[in-house]
Chain A
Amino acid sequence: MTDPRTRKPVLEVEGLQTVFHDLEGAWPAINALDLTIYEGEVLGLVGESGSGKSVAGFSILGLIDTPGEITAGRVLFQGKDLREMDEESLRKLRGADLSMIFQDPLTTLNPVLTIGEQMGEAITEHGQADAEALRRRCIDTLTKVGITSPEERLSQYPHELSGGMRQRVVIAIALLNSPKVIIADEPTTALDVTIQSQIIAEMQRLQHDSGAALIWISHDLGVVAELADRIAVMYAGDIVEIGTTDEVLDRPRHPYTRGLLDSVPGDVPPGEPLRQIEGSAPPLNARPFGCPFHPRCAQATDLCRSSDPAPQGDGAGRIWRCHHPITAQEAA
């Protein structure tokens, strides 16, 4: 695969911060997020549950509700800042150029509306289409995502379809308007393993055929490793490491990435226990001072406990955020 960083960026996220308010104050769920998505690439966004991946996805689309608030940053799509746009222009982008796939197909579709209506509105809310053209487009897209007897599905309700089928419908909806960027928020996590791998394979094919850039969010580094051209690792609302998939998998620079790699089942000889990272991600209102990972990090020093490391890079798009990055020799 060619390095996606040689292509044109489609989406540039700069310093994006989203906080959640409670009675005690405002707690950042994502902190000054910087991320560039290149045309047609697959970017894997990984991190443990609670690290801010979903909030990052929703913040890009401007879909944060109270008590959440996007407090800083820019989201540039084709050079235009989404955060400066009025709500109507943003609405026109959503579901057209930028689309999203949610985690749980059982709750994503409205239980009392037919599949046909829920697909159709994604088209009609973005432009005119006569009934027959609309039908054709829905049927074609359902066929594309591997749904059998698509005509019948249009008049069915979500509960008449299996979880895997529903997620395919959701994927079809995300593809309807040929988006430039698709954000897929753990689209297979709620499905059982066999369906999961089918859908991953299909997403790969669909992404390749459509040429859309795909942000694939997952807590599972193993899944992301299969799919992604590049990987961004998130911890406590920060991106702590970015690189191509090979770079990140073969030469992780951040101890957290290292920990995630060690806990991927495929890498451990059978019989040996998986090494999980001790502890869990901090809650929003208890972010450790200094490097937020220090309570769980074996390499932590006094420096780590007193100062939050700034992002560093190699100038070619490889970025890490650690006072004591793992060197190439250590990684090997």
Chain B
Amino acid sequence: MLTFVTQRLLQSVAVLFAVSIAVFLAVYAVGNPVDLLISPEATQAERAEMIARLGLDRPVWAQYLTFLGNALQGDLGTSFVHGQPALSLILSRIPATFELVVSALLLASIIGIPIGLWVGLNDGSLGARAVMTGSILGYSIPSFWKGMVLILVCAVWLNWLPASGRGDTVTVLGVPFSFLTVDGLRHMAMPVINLAIPNIALMIRLTAAGASESARMDYVKFARAKGVRDTRIVRRHILRNILIPIVTVLGVEFGSLIAFSTITETVFAWPGMGKLLITSIYQLDRPVVVAYVMLVTFIFVTVNLLVDFAYAALDPRVKLSERMS
């Protein structure tokens, strides 16, 4: 187990390094931030002085090492626009995004897994085929369009739900949360649904495919030949097997929802980190963009690491292959 953990940890660190190089090259080496930071009327001497102060006259690798050294100390630069450290700016927006993402995945699991199970076990029935067809729509409709339709219907026409912002929040341990107030929940409803829809579809399809495959396996037939009740067969034999891909995909989806909640946060003016990213891109606030990419990569890598550990815990066969390797 220990070798497995260290191996995966090293891999994760390697990924972070690779991304840091890519981001550095993309954002710092391509294009010249001086052009943006200094007025076009500045003299040549002023320019040179600025370049030297920012260290831009040094070779690329030296600049990178400085960036890396600072990054390792938790300093990912200071926002041009807000004048505060980019990292803490983003971290202050994380709770809002996490709140959306966790709620969306919870909703997707609560709705998607039971429906998927039913579809998988009623393979080929009319209802099952209808759900499967409907689920294709669920993740092929673009997020911004779904978001706008939701706003149009639920906010503009029916006037049921507020279309933007977090609403009232309650501060727990210094962190504001919306899901603890009725008004906050009403504000969360549409963005959460918007994020959840493709994931509900994904959960349905994943669970259905797993369940119908698992239900055809010999071990299920043998369990029936043993006289095991259907409820137990579904709960222990089938669900236990498909839990492995479900947990894996939920983990991966958690990472990508954090990264891609940008559109939903923008459509619903939800003050999370995705919204901050878009604003920062418009304002050419490079340190924030870099910090965002690094942080999202870090979250992604960490979640994948946790998923791998969960996988090893759920699938007894994984431990064996790792023991043999």
Name the residue on B nearest A104 (C-beta): B218
Q: Which of B124, B228, B240, B317 contacts A125 (CB 8 A)?
A: B228
Minimum CB–CB distance for B70 against chain A, Å: 46
Q: Considering the chains assembled together, what is the distance between the CA atoms of A107 and B237 in angstroms?
A: 13
Q: Considering the chains assembled together, what is the distance between the CA atoms of A91 and B236 in angstroms?
A: 17
Pair B236/A125 contact, Cβ less than 8 Å: no
Given A107-B217, A111-B317, A113-B240, CB of A96 within 8 Å of CB of B227: yes
Interface assignment of B303: CB less than 8 Å from any CB of chain A: no
Interface assignment of A112: CB less than 8 Å from any CB of chain B: yes
Name the residue on A nearest B214 (C-beta): A110
Q: Which of B223, B225, B315 contacts A112 (CB 8 A)?
A: B315
Q: Considering the chains assembled together, what is the distance between the CA atoms of A173 and B225 in angstroms?
A: 10
- Kindly name the residue among B218, B219, B222, B240 whose own CB sees the greatest number of chain A CB atoms within 10 A: B222
Pair A117/B232 contact, Cβ less than 8 Å: no
Pair A110/B228 contact, Cβ less than 8 Å: no
Q: Considering the chains assembled together, what is the distance between the CA atoms of A159 and B322 in angstroms?
A: 13
Pair B316/A94 contact, Cβ less than 8 Å: no
Pair A112/B244 contact, Cβ less than 8 Å: yes
- A90-121 vs B, Cβ < 8 Å mask (1 yes, 0 no): 01111110011010100111111100010001
- A48-86 vs B, Cβ < 8 Å mask (1 yes, 0 no): 000000000010010101100000000000000000000
Interface assignment of B226: CB less than 8 Å from any CB of chain A: yes
Pair A125/B232 contact, Cβ less than 8 Å: yes
- A163-176 vs B, Cβ < 8 Å mask (1 yes, 0 no): 00000001001000
Q: Considering the chains assembled together, what is the distance between the CA atoms of A159 and B317 in angstroms?
A: 7
Given A157-B316, A159-B317, CB of A125 within 8 Å of CB of B227: yes
Pair A173/B221 contact, Cβ less than 8 Å: no
Interface residues of B in 234-262 (CB under 8 A from A): 236-237, 240-241, 244
Interface residues of B in 143-190 (CB under 8 A from A): none
Pair B227/A159 contact, Cβ less than 8 Å: no
Name the residue on B nearest A170 (C-beta): B222
Pair B227/A108 contact, Cβ less than 8 Å: no
Q: Considering the chains assembled together, what is the distance between the CA atoms of A157 and B240 in angstroms?
A: 14
Q: Considering the chains assembled together, what is the distance between the CA atoms of A109 and B229 in angstroms?
A: 16
Pair A112/B241 contact, Cβ less than 8 Å: yes
Q: Considering the chains assembled together, what is the distance between the CA atoms of A102 and B222 in angstroms?
A: 7
- B259-284 vs A, Cβ < 8 Å mask (1 yes, 0 no): 00000000000000000000000000
Q: Considering the chains assembled together, what is the distance between the CA atoms of A121 and B316 in angstroms?
A: 19
Q: Which of A58, A92, A110, A159 contacts B219 (CB 8 A)?
A: A110
Pair A95/B217 contact, Cβ less than 8 Å: no
Interface assignment of B320: CB less than 8 Å from any CB of chain A: yes
Closest CB pairs A-B (n = 4): A95-B227, A95-B226, A157-B316, A107-B218
Not counting A111-B317, A125-B232, a sample of 6 additional A-B residue pairs whose C-beta atoms are within 8 angstroms of each other reads A102-B225, A107-B217, A110-B236, A110-B240, A111-B219, A170-B222
Q: Can you spell out 18 A-B residue pairs with CB atoms less than 8 angstroms apart?
A: A91-B227, A92-B227, A93-B227, A95-B225, A99-B225, A102-B221, A102-B222, A102-B225, A104-B218, A108-B219, A109-B222, A110-B237, A110-B241, A117-B236, A121-B226, A122-B227, A125-B228, A160-B320
